[in-house]
Chains A and B, each alone.
Chain A
Amino acid sequence: MNPTKKAARIAGAIYLSMVFTAPFSLIYVPSKLIVRGNAAATADNILAHETMFRLSIFGDLIGQVIFICLGIALYRLLSNVNKIWAALMVAFVLVSAAVGFLNTLNDIGAAILFRGGEFLTVFDKPQRDALAMFFVRLHGQGISIDEIFWGLWLFPFGLLVFRSGFLPRWIGIWLMINCFGYVFLSVIGFFFPAYSDKAFLYLQPVLFGELAIMLYLLIRGANVKAFPAEAV
């Protein structure tokens, strides 16, 4: 296989693995365990399914590692188009991963407080649960912050796809629009948290840009005939 085509397929495969792991920690487990606004019920759920909660924290961390690998795989594919833009793309990915890693600490903090062993017995259970719930909320806010980077890295990525000549231009434009979609979601999360879910729903078509590039990389790879001479 042509080396650039291979690089495209590898990037696509890493992207796919992220699509499988991210929803588990981001959507499935929180929806099963966290009862919004109800600390006691959330405490019961998390203590009853502690392993699942811990697995979701682990999944969160693994997700960040995969994201870094994805950034590097895409850098390999696209750095010949423009090195600086490709480096900026990787930079946003790295900062996002660092913030995401630290953010898992909020979930771990919640788990410690919900268990409330030994030294935490000076707090009543309702107080501990409330504090734990507060850390769960903080984790959600940390994701909102990180969402800015989930958007930002797509701008250089989209621009590179657009200019590459070996990937379709319309996906490049879609990715750049996708960038603003995430940034917009993050701003909504800050000022109008009540509308977050609705905004997420309406922005779905915008956010599918990532799915489009993932499928294209995986299935079609790269259009070898259109390569810049340097990249072949």
Chain B
Amino acid sequence: MHPTVKAARIAGAVYLSTLPIAVYFWSYIPGKLIVRGNATATAQSILDHETLFRFSILGDLFAYVIVICMGFLLYRLLREVEGTWAFLMVGFVLLSAAVGFFGALPNIAAVILFRGNDFLAVLDKPQRDALAMFFLRLHGQAALINEIFSGLWLFPLGLLVFRSGFLPRFLGVWLIVAGFGWLVLSVIALVFPAHYDTAFSIIQPVVLGEMAFALWLLIRGVNVKALPARAV
């Protein structure tokens, strides 16, 4: 296999792998364990499934490590197109990972408060549960802030794909539109939180651009004939 095709396939596979991991750790497990607005019930379910919850925190971190690796695989694939834009793309990915890593801390804080052993005994259980719930909420907000980066890195990526010549231009355009989609979503989450779910269902097709791109890389790889001479 041509080395650039191989690089594209690997990048596509890693990109796609982030999807199930993200859905499982970022929405499935929290959806199972967190009872929205009910601190007591949430405390009960998290204490009953503490290992699962800790596992989801670890998975959350693991997902960001994969995101960093994915950023570098795409960098390797696209830096010949335009080094500076590729560099900017990796920069956004790294910031996103840093925010994501730090965003795991409120979840850990919630576990500490729900358990509430030794020194935390001075707080009543309802108070501790409420504080823990607040930290769970904070974790969710950190994830929403991070959607800004989920959008921003797609601009340089889309541009690089568009200009590359060895990947279809429509995917580049779709990625840039998806970048706007994420930005709009994060603004709605911050300013009009009540409308987030509606907005998400409307914007979803736009955001699917990422999946289309990842599948293309995995299945089609790149158009070898159009590769720049240096990269061959």
* Interfacial residues, chain A to chain B (CB-CB below 8 A): 37-39, 84, 87-88, 91-92, 94-95, 98-99, 102-103, 106, 124, 126-127, 129-130, 133-134, 137-138, 141-142, 145-146, 148-149, 152, 187, 190-191
Point out residues on B near A: beta carbons under 8 Å: 51, 54-55, 57-58, 61, 65, 68-69, 71-72, 75-76, 90, 94-95, 97-98, 101-102, 104-105, 108-109, 112-113, 117-123
List, sorted by A's number, 10 A–B pairs whose CB atoms are closer than 8 Å: A84-B72, A88-B68, A91-B71, A94-B98, A102-B102, A127-B122, A130-B120, A134-B113, A187-B58, A191-B51
Bound form: Cα–Cα A133–B120 in Å = 8
Whether the pair A94, B94 counts as a contact (CB closer than 8 A) is yes
> Considering the chains assembled together, what is the distance between the CA atoms of A41 and B181 in angstroms?
51
Distance in Å: Cβ of A165 to nearest Cβ of chain B: 22
CA distance A202 to B162 in the complex (A): 52
A126: which B residues are within 8 A, CB to CB? 122
With the chains together, A14 CA to B211 CA distance in Å?
43
Question: CA of A145 to CA of B108 in the docked complex: distance in angstroms?
Answer: 10
- Where chain A touches its partner, the secondary structure class is helix
Question: When the two chains form their complex, are residues B68 and A99 in contact, meaning their CB atoms are under 8 A apart?
Answer: no
Known: A84-B72, A84-B76. A39 touches B119 (CB 8 A): yes
A91 to B101, CA, bound (A): 14
Question: Do A87 and B65 have beta carbons less than 8 Å apart?
Answer: no
Which partner residue on chain B sits nearest A126 by CB separation?
Answer: B122
Q: Which of B57, B109, B113: most chain A Cβ within 10 A?
A: B109
Majority secondary structure of chain B interface residues (helix, strand, loop or mixed): helix
Shortest CB-to-CB span from A61 to chain B, Å, is: 15
Chain B residues in 8 Å Cβ range of A91: 68, 71-72, 90, 94
Among candidates B61, B65, B75, residue contacting A84 with C-beta atoms closer than 8 Å: B75
In the assembled complex, the Cα of A153 lies from the Cα of B102 at a distance in Å of 18
Contact A148 B61 (CB under 8 A): yes
A88 adjacent to B109 (CB under 8 Å): no
Cα separation A27 to B203 with both chains bound (whole Å): 49
A32: min CB distance to chain B, Å: 18
Judge whether B72 and A190 touch: CB under 8 Å. no
**A142: nearest residue on chain B (CB-CB)?**
B105
Q: Are A190 and B54 in contact (CB under 8 A)?
A: yes
Chain A neighbourhood of B122, CB < 8 A: 39, 124, 126-127, 129-130
Is there contact, CB below 8 Å, between B68 and A95? yes
Tell me which residues across on chain B come within 8 A of A149, comparing CB atoms.
101
**Min C-beta distance of A71 to chain B, whole Å:** 12
Contact of B98 among A39, A95, A137, A190 (CB under 8 A): A95
CA A127 – CA B131 in complex, angstroms? 13
Is there contact, CB below 8 Å, between A145 and B104? yes
Q: Chain A's nearest CB lies how many Å from the CB of B117? A: 8
Report yes or no: A130 in contact with B123, Cβ–Cβ below 8 A. yes
Given known A-B contacts A37-B118, A127-B123, A133-B119, A103 and B102 have beta carbons under 8 A apart: yes
CA distance A146 to B55 in the complex (A): 17
Asked if A141 and B108 sit within 8 Å, CB to CB, the answer is: yes
Chain B residue nearest to A152 (CB atoms) is B65
What is the distance, in angstroms, from A196's C-beta to the closest C-beta of chain B? 14
9 nearest CB pairs, A to B: A98-B98, A37-B118, A39-B119, A126-B122, A141-B108, A133-B119, A130-B122, A95-B98, A102-B102
Q: How far is the CB of B35 from chain A (nearest CB, A)?
A: 23
Q: Given A38-B119, A88-B72, are A99 and B102 neighbors across the interface (CB < 8 Å)?
A: yes
- For the complex, give the distance between the alpha carbons of A142 and B108 in Å: 9
Which of A84, A95, A141, A146 is close to B97, meaning CB atoms less than 8 Å apart? Answer: A95
Residues of A within 8 A of B121 (CB): 130
- Tell me, rounded to whole Å, the shortest Cβ–Cβ distance linking A225 to chain B: 31
Shortest CB-to-CB span from A106 to chain B, Å, is: 8
How far is B112's CA from A37's CA once the two chains are assembled, in angstroms?
12
Which residue in chain A gives the minimum CB-CB distance to B58? Answer: A190
Write the nearest CB–CB distance from B72 to chain A, whole angstroms. 5
User: What separation, in Å, do the CA atoms of A157 and B151 have in the docked complex?
Assistant: 31
Beyond contacts A91-B68, A134-B113, A145-B102: 8 other A-B pairs, Cβ-Cβ < 8 A, are: A84-B75, A88-B69, A94-B98, A103-B105, A138-B108, A142-B102, A148-B61, A190-B54
Cα-based distance from A127 to B119 in the complex (angstroms): 9
Q: How far is the CA of A149 from the CA of B65 in the complex (A)?
A: 9
